[in-house]
Amino acid sequence: MNRRQAIQQLSIMGVGLALYPACNLEDVPTYARVLLERKQYGIFKQFTEAILPVDHTLYPTPEPRSTFILTILNDCTSTQEIGQYLEGLKEFETYLSENKLKSLDKLSNEKLDEIFSHIEDSKESNENLSRFARITKSLAVQHFTGSEKFMTEEMEYEFVPGRYIGCAKI
């Protein structure tokens, strides 16, 4: 390899490394009735993880929590409820921008508690925001309690035939 090729390869690698952070590598799931932009999906995903943080290696699930919630919303709710839910998401995004919060991942538990208490206090004034938080929380809990490890270890669930008890009186 001569000097020109080395300089050329180093310059190509440098440009590639400079442009790499600008790449958005995470795909936004697309649904027929729940349409989210990349920024909205990022806020939504952070909110679902902030409500109920869980170690994904300890409690593995077949799909991420955000995908589960969006699938349930798309398949099991009416168009009017989806519209109200998305309005609540927009209002939550507005609340974050007004308070100059960019990411929920880096916030302390005290700050998250303050955000959640604001959402709970806004039930009368902002019904869509409280509906967004309530639905997201209930679906996040449903996703967690539906994981195989939680069902078998915490709830001691057994599959349908269960165990055979031959001496049981009927």
Dump pLDDT digits (tens) for 149-163: 888 888 777 777 777
Question: Under a CB-based contact definition with an 8 Å cutoff, are residues 70 and 159 in contact?
Answer: no
- pLDDT number for residue 21: 65
Which string of DSSP letters, residue by residue, matches 28-82?
A: PP--SS----HHHHHHHHHHHHHHS---TTTS--SS-HHHHHHHHHHHHS-HHHH
pLDDT per residue as tens digits for the range 1-30: 688 888 888 888 887 777 766 666 667 888
**Which residues, 6+ apart, have CB-to-CB distance to 31 below 8 Å?**
70, 71, 73, 74
Q: What is the mean pLDDT of the chain?
A: 84
Comparing CA positions, the residue from 69, 106, 108, 68 lying closest to residue 85 is 69
More confident site: 12 or 124: 12
Axis-axis angle for helices 127-145, 65-76 (nearest 10):
120
Q: What is the pLDDT of residue 123?
A: 67
Predicted model pTM: 0.75
CA 105 to chain centre: 12
Residues 29, 67 contacting (CB under 8 angstroms): yes
